A and B are shown apart, each in its own frame.
Chain A
Amino acid sequence: MSQSSSKATASSLEKSKDNKLLKFTPKELKLYEFLRTLDGSGKLARMLEGVVIVLLDKNNPVRFAQAANTIRCLTDSILDLKGQTKRPHKLLDTKTISVLEKQFSKILSIALGNISDPKERKETEESVVAKFRQLKNLLSYGTKTKKDQLLGLLYHKDGLRIIPKNLQDSAEKLAKIYHYFAEVLHEHREDEPDFINKWVYFQDFLIIVASGFFDIAKEIDQFLEDRTINNEKSK
């Protein structure tokens, strides 16, 4: 896990917004570099920075929810960049949806004003908002589920057929973690002992989808080379 340090090595030094020095873990650093390559504007890389910074702030009671929110934004942005949300059956563009969202908020606040019982108002609000969120997702992403979108980052239609189920399962696990982040965000969970582990695991997924072909090929080469050396040694 990253930590704030003044003794960071040059290769892993990145400056945060408030000029504090951050030391990324090697994995975070790798992801950071891939994100910078993937998105020239640096927006994705800054999102990652945000996640690291917020998680370091142990005094922040909502740090998990905030980090989860940014991780989701980061993932959605990658989905956008990789064309996974641009489906032919997408009904409305993002701009129209945001207009729709504003209009919805206005109408909702007027409607809720008519309910005097606070409990009833709260329940109504939650129920209508949940329905609206479903509608929004449908309008934004068409009929494709988030899981399908995430898997789409890994496999094109044909690719799925050549990957063994066991390997597909590990990818599906990543999709589940994404949903875990959604839960943390919406439920404003404060104490999340497994959050860091899940985040570390999720980074692998982000690395794979954000990297170029030869970035991973290099790692596979390295893995095979290490095994050869170890085999030689054991002989």
Chain B
Amino acid sequence: MKNLNKLAILISKPEHFEYFFKKVNDPDLFDWLDKETGAFDHIPGPVLSEDGKYIRFSPWWPAQYLIKMSNKIPDKVFLVLKRIKTDNYFVLDDSAQAILNMPTDFLLKNAKEIIHLFDNWLYTKYPKLIQERAANLFKEYIDLNSFDNALNLLNILSKLLVEKYKKPGFEMEIFYYNELIKNSIPKLIENVPEKLIKIIKIHLRRALEKEYKGKKSDLSELWRPSIESSSQNWGHDDPKEIFVQLIRDTMEALSKIYPSKASVILKRWLTDRFSIFQRITIHCTRICDSQIDLAKEIIMEKERLFSGKPGYHEFLLLLKNKFKEISEENKLEFLKWVEEGPKKDNFEGFEDYKKREQLRILIIISDIIKESAKTKKEFDYYLELLDKLNIEKLKPENLTFTHPHVSWVGPTSSLTKEEMMKMTPDEFVDWIKNNLQPPFEMMGPSPEGVARIFQEVVKEKHIEYANAADKFLDDKIWPAYLCAYIRGLEEAIKEGKFFDLEPVLRFIESPLKFHEEPEIKLRHDTFDIGQYSWFRGATYNFIEEVVKKDELSLIENFMERTRMLLMDSIERDEDPTEAEEKQYGPDAQNMDYVTYCINSNRGKALHALIQHALRFARMRSEEEKKDEKGKGPFPPGERMNLYKEFLSKRLIEEKSPSVQSSYGQFLPYVFYLDQEWVKQMKENDKLFPKTKEKNKVWEAHWQGYLFNNFYDRLYELLKEDYKKAVNNLVQVSDKKKSFHEDEGLVQHLMIAFWRKIEDIKEKEGTLNTFFKKASLELRSLAIRFLGDGVKENKLSKDSDEWARLKDLWKDRLKKAQDAELANFVTWLKYCPDNLDDIVELIIPIVPYLYMGYQEEDLLEYINEKIEINTKSSLLLLDELFKVKESFVNIHFRLDLIKEILTKAKKYKDIPEVSKHINQSVNRLGEMGYYDFKDLLIKE
């Protein structure tokens, strides 16, 4: 007793309480633990986290002991388990494990109570884990051939939650239920089919009653189009479907083992109010030879034919299989009914419908009619009827399904690529002019489908098709083909292919219905035949690609004509219209300015024009260009005289802010082409305008600009704009902005800091304002971006950059009190300082490390430094262990922790080192990691 009192003290700390129950294996302690310590009475329940977002479940360590004892003293353990009342699913899972660990004779003897317990546990608040255990117990009873107990458990597991959801669903995870069915049901079907059907039928019926309460039909053909397995069944894990399969298989088995019993049930089901049971019956009579009499009866029910009664699919299959089994007289009578057809109706197209349905039946049983016709001439008449109906092209697409599911696979082509490759351009043009005219069939071949393949063909046969460009100057050719033609050539250019540009240029220059779109009758035809607007966009992209390729030698005439074409298009193309931009553009929070720009025609044309100007500058003579060498990215001078006036004009006239974003996006290029023009435009409030009314234009220019790399000269030019952007920062993300915009701003500011243009010491400076105003996400991004700089630049300890970075680090430690600090961990691996020199900077960031990967970064750093700065490394490890959340997150890097401590152990003679190692090992023990015990250093 004295020893037990001592033990009570030893296990009074939670970590030792846990340790004890993981270790103890002595059944003699059971009574003491139960009665004296109350160990099995105190079960931790679920607890709502402080922020109210999560529910936490604590482990219950005595359960480990119960599991171990359950095969030694099952009676005592079971008494404890029966007392358990909790919603803590860890506890229930352990309890279930304890039951599964009990001797089989105990499981059998106490089955009723055990199943009752599971019934209670399965319907607690969080039953997820217990479901798997229940399934295991079910399998156990099956293996023990205790089928009644297995059925009782299945009955519980098959319960549906009818109140909670609109559609009845399993409380149990459908995956487990399916596994259960797959693995264990065959034995039940074989041994207790009748009882099994009874149970599952009840659950299916309950589900139907709930879902179709007060309705005439159970709509079974919608949720289970065919009783047999078929691709027509969606299989959306609907419990009803699973039950149907189960009943079907069991009934098929019952028909084989006890045909008369099965027959009684099936006959009853044939008139059941739920159609699914009628359909199962028809299905079974087809599959099971023992039910042939019932099958014949069903065939000869006249009202089933053409009546729209449920189970028509199953009935037609039954005809196919069993029609041969009925007498010749009955066959003739049945055929007469077919000839009579469905009851007359006045709806339009009734005659076609009648013939189609007659043909459907006759095709299904045609072989049997032919066979009968060999001996009886009366059948010839029906063969003739079949032929007659067949000629009329009325054949239904699917014989047994009247409304089969179909799925769409994208636009389709009636020509294959091989066929197109074999055609000459003339032949192809001829083909497209004479085939595939609207209206198009839904999901049928369309010009768009053909065009997608044609694009690949043009890419491959670019020379031939470039020379045949004039053939496409035809009003009868749908825009979808024209788009594909020009895109195919663009792709060829991208791949470095050459061809004669002149005919193509003539083609794109011609006034091909510039503003008139083809007339369409149906909305989806727009997609099928394309639009001229899309074609125009494709031509601008084509020109852009051509002028970007320096390998293509372009003559002045080409440059002049394309320049004129682009300028003309920018002035005339209506896309984007103001209304559409409002509806789909940045104001509608749909996409940002830059994205909308590259998806609009004027945007595409402006991009092409700026590339055009750059190409023109590159095409100057070497003599002209030689002065620029060695003068950096922005040598002084004018290089866009031909474009300047036009760009100035458009800068004022362009109404679309999205198109305006191009000026920002190409600012470095334009600054190279003519920096004086840029400065002048800025001064005149045209570029990055300051006036309030033009704020949208400023936003667009700014967003486009931030897609660029950082240039000192441009930073200088736009300093005030940077300030404005930083002041505009908000904590909540703005959908009008692209993520690149904020990311770009962060990167630019950090480069400015790195290059000493901005300083953290300037109290009201842009950098300090940024850290004050930016969201946690952006501030974190900034620190990580600088971390990339540390990595890439391999700074020396005495470098000016590192000194500045450390200043920033210290400054942020003073000012930031959130997870921004954790991002400094990305600096560690490549930081030039000795750990001992920066340990005081690292310690404050430890509590903020993001669970998992940032902690892992720190662990890796410690591992690198452990033999160099052993004491500081161990100090950091201590800090990490102090963060409670680390308990759960470091478990996947225990190997690393072991490596660190093993390395540290080499220095155990240093008292502080051995103290830290022991502290860490003991801390790990508290977390439940006992394997580290061997690393303890004995003093």
Residue of A nearest to B4 (CB): A223
List of A residues within 8 angstroms of B28 by Cβ: 227, 231
Complex Cα distance, B17 from A170, in Å, reads 14
The residue among A171, A212, A213, A221 with the most chain B CB atoms within 10 A of its own CB is: A213
**Assuming the A-B contacts A37-B918, A162-B61, are A221 and B38 also in contact, with contact meaning beta carbons closer than 8 angstroms in the complex?**
no
Give chain B nearest CB distance to A79 CB in angstroms.
16
Complex Cα distance, B14 from A165, in Å, reads 12
> Do the beta carbons of B14 and A162 come within 8 Å of each other?
yes
> Do the beta carbons of A158 and B58 come within 8 Å of each other?
yes
> Do the beta carbons of A220 and B19 come within 8 Å of each other?
yes
**Assuming the A-B contacts A158-B58, A161-B44, are A220 and B13 also in contact, with contact meaning beta carbons closer than 8 angstroms in the complex?**
no
Give chain B nearest CB distance to A95 CB in angstroms.
23
> Do the beta carbons of B922 and A40 come within 8 Å of each other?
no
> Do the beta carbons of B915 and A40 come within 8 Å of each other?
yes
Q: Which of A156, A164, A214 contacts B925 (CB 8 A)?
A: A214
> Do the beta carbons of A212 and B919 come within 8 Å of each other?
yes
List of A residues within 8 angstroms of B36 by Cβ: 166
> Do the beta carbons of B14 and A155 come within 8 Å of each other?
yes
> Do the beta carbons of A164 and B42 come within 8 Å of each other?
yes
Chain B positions 9 through 39: 1 when the CB is less than 8 Å from some CB of chain A, otherwise 0:
1111111111110011110110000001111
B741 interfacial contact with A, CB 8 Å: no
List of A residues within 8 angstroms of B921 by Cβ: 212-214
A139-180 contacts to B (CB < 8 Å): 154-156, 158-168, 170-171
List of A residues within 8 angstroms of B41 by Cβ: 164-165
B3 interfacial contact with A, CB 8 Å: yes
B923 interfacial contact with A, CB 8 Å: yes
Complex Cα distance, B384 from A125, in Å, reads 127
B806 interfacial contact with A, CB 8 Å: no
**Assuming the A-B contacts A212-B919, A213-B923, are A161 and B47 also in contact, with contact meaning beta carbons closer than 8 angstroms in the complex?**
yes
> Do the beta carbons of B17 and A213 come within 8 Å of each other?
no
Complex Cα distance, B10 from A215, in Å, reads 10
Residue of A nearest to B45 (CB): A161
B939 interfacial contact with A, CB 8 Å: yes
> Do the beta carbons of B925 and A213 come within 8 Å of each other?
yes
B7 interfacial contact with A, CB 8 Å: yes
- Main SS of the interface on chain A? helix
List of A residues within 8 angstroms of B632 by Cβ: none
Residue of B nearest to A207 (CB): B9
List of B residues within 8 angstroms of A220 by Cβ: 7, 10-11, 16, 19-20, 23
> Do the beta carbons of B26 and A214 come within 8 Å of each other?
no
The residue among A171, A212, A216 with the most chain B CB atoms within 10 A of its own CB is: A216
Complex Cα distance, B921 from A164, in Å, reads 27
**Assuming the A-B contacts A164-B42, A217-B925, are A204 and B9 also in contact, with contact meaning beta carbons closer than 8 angstroms in the complex?**
yes
**Assuming the A-B contacts A162-B60, A164-B38, A164-B39, are A213 and B15 also in contact, with contact meaning beta carbons closer than 8 angstroms in the complex?**
yes
Complex Cα distance, B44 from A168, in Å, reads 14
List of A residues within 8 angstroms of B926 by Cβ: 213
A13 interfacial contact with B, CB 8 Å: no
Chain B positions 896 through 939: 1 when the CB is less than 8 Å from some CB of chain A, otherwise 0:
00000000000000011001001101110110001001001001
A219 interfacial contact with B, CB 8 Å: yes
A13-37 contacts to B (CB < 8 Å): 33, 37
Residue of B nearest to A234 (CB): B28
B59 interfacial contact with A, CB 8 Å: yes
**Assuming the A-B contacts A220-B11, A220-B20, are A227 and B26 also in contact, with contact meaning beta carbons closer than 8 angstroms in the complex?**
yes
Complex Cα distance, B10 from A167, in Å, reads 10
> Do the beta carbons of A159 and B16 come within 8 Å of each other?
no
Complex Cα distance, B13 from A159, in Å, reads 8
A98 interfacial contact with B, CB 8 Å: no
A53 interfacial contact with B, CB 8 Å: no
B144 interfacial contact with A, CB 8 Å: no
Give chain A nearest CB distance to B877 CB in angstroms.
15
A224 interfacial contact with B, CB 8 Å: yes
Residue of B nearest to A36 (CB): B939
A127 interfacial contact with B, CB 8 Å: no
Complex Cα distance, B643 from A159, in Å, reads 76
**Assuming the A-B contacts A37-B918, A214-B933, A217-B925, are A170 and B12 also in contact, with contact meaning beta carbons closer than 8 angstroms in the complex?**
yes
**Assuming the A-B contacts A208-B9, A223-B3, are A156 and B23 also in contact, with contact meaning beta carbons closer than 8 angstroms in the complex?**
no
> Do the beta carbons of B17 and A163 come within 8 Å of each other?
yes
Q: Which of B3, B9, B17, B23 contacts A162 (CB 8 A)?
A: B17
Give me 19 A-to-B residue pairs in the complex whose CB atoms sit less than 8 angstroms apart, sorted by A's number. A37-B915, A37-B939, A154-B12, A156-B14, A160-B14, A161-B47, A162-B58, A164-B38, A165-B42, A166-B36, A167-B39, A170-B12, A212-B921, A212-B925, A213-B923, A213-B926, A214-B925, A223-B6, A224-B25
Question: 10 closest Cβ contacts across the A-B interface?
Answer: A159-B14, A213-B925, A212-B922, A164-B42, A213-B922, A161-B44, A164-B38, A166-B38, A213-B926, A166-B37
Residues of A participating in the B interface, judged by any CB pair closer than 8 Å: 33, 37, 40, 154-156, 158-168, 170-171, 204-205, 208, 212-217, 219-221, 223-224, 226-228, 231
